[in-house]
A and B are shown apart, each in its own frame.
Chain A
Amino acid sequence: AQTVTQSQPEMSVQEAETVTLSCTYDTSENNYYLFWYKQPPSRQMILVIRQEAYKQQNATENRFSVNFQKAAKSFSLKISDSQLGDTAMYFCAFGVNTGNQFYFGTGTSLTVIP
């Protein structure tokens, strides 16, 4: 069975500071992809960053970067220079090459404090 766990239901960070959101997953597959999605109050799901499991290099996208530890099945998201617009629900997800399903965590609600 494929599972995704986000152990931090809520987090907060001061504007301009750095915050790290945790995610662990469990799968027996070897070829898979990992994602972080952002869901602001508008409830539109927006892709933040993507990581291929076969790549050792951690993905980065402007202020967003990941720490991917394949052996530990860990995939954390680091947000640098936090902005008020980063306030949102963040979901970790992964998909496997052998199937068409995605597996989502329960989300972390992040609040950026001015």
Chain B
Amino acid sequence: DGGITQSPKYLFRKEGQNVTLSCEQNLNHDAMYWYRQDPGQGLRLIYYSQIVNDFQKGDIAEGYSVSREKKESFPLTVTSAQKNPTAFYLCATAPGRGYEQYFGPGTRLTVT
């Protein structure tokens, strides 16, 4: 059963704690992406990776970190430096340039 999984669906953390969001894919896609979605706004790119052990900052990378040690996995860490971490986070993959992106189900992060 091919697809993209994000876990957990809902995540609650206290302010000041780092938290890691999981994204796993078995589509054999090279590119992976992390987006943040806030009410009334579109998707904003946090980080993306084209190949293993390489990734680039997106438009709103401050306060976030990623790793790409395996092709299948692209975890996102929301650090305590992120001023407003409460949001809906979407992971996506793509087979390459010029192709549509495929999205996971998302993780709703609430920090109090």
Identify the A interface with B (CB < 8 A). Answer: 4, 9, 31, 33, 35, 42-47, 50, 91, 95-102, 104-107
**Bound: A95/B50 CA distance, A:** 14
Asked whether B105 lies within 8 Å of A101 as measured between CB atoms, the reply is no
The reply on B78 being an interface residue by CB < 8 A is no
Question: Taking A100-B48, A101-B45, A105-B42 as contacts, is the C-beta distance between A45 and B103 under 8 angstroms?
Answer: yes
**Bound: A17/B19 CA distance, A:** 46
The reply on B106 being an interface residue by CB < 8 A is yes
The reply on B40 being an interface residue by CB < 8 A is yes
Asked whether A106 lies within 8 Å of B40 as measured between CB atoms, the reply is yes
**Bound: A33/B48 CA distance, A:** 19
Question: Taking A100-B31, A100-B50 as contacts, is the C-beta distance between A95 and B90 under 8 angstroms?
Answer: no
The reply on B58 being an interface residue by CB < 8 A is yes
Asked whether A97 lies within 8 Å of B97 as measured between CB atoms, the reply is yes
Asked whether A107 lies within 8 Å of B97 as measured between CB atoms, the reply is no
Asked whether A104 lies within 8 Å of B43 as measured between CB atoms, the reply is yes
Asked whether B48 lies within 8 Å of A106 as measured between CB atoms, the reply is no
**Bound: A104/B102 CA distance, A:** 14
Identify the B interface with A (CB < 8 A). Answer: 31, 33, 40-43, 45, 48, 50, 58, 88, 90, 92, 94, 97-103, 105-106
Residues of A within 8 A of B100 (CB): 33, 35, 47, 50
Interface centre among A9, A33, A43, A106 (most CB of B within 10 A): A43
B59 nearest in chain A by CB position: A101
**Bound: A74/B58 CA distance, A:** 25
Q: Say which residue of A43, A91, A97, A101 sits within 8 Å of B98 (CB atoms).
A: A97
**Bound: A99/B45 CA distance, A:** 14
Asked whether B98 lies within 8 Å of A44 as measured between CB atoms, the reply is no
Residue contacts A-B, CB under 8 angstroms, 21 given: A4-B42, A9-B40, A31-B98, A35-B100, A44-B105, A45-B103, A46-B103, A50-B100, A91-B42, A91-B43, A97-B97, A97-B98, A99-B97, A100-B31, A100-B48, A100-B97, A101-B48, A102-B33, A105-B42, A106-B41, A106-B42
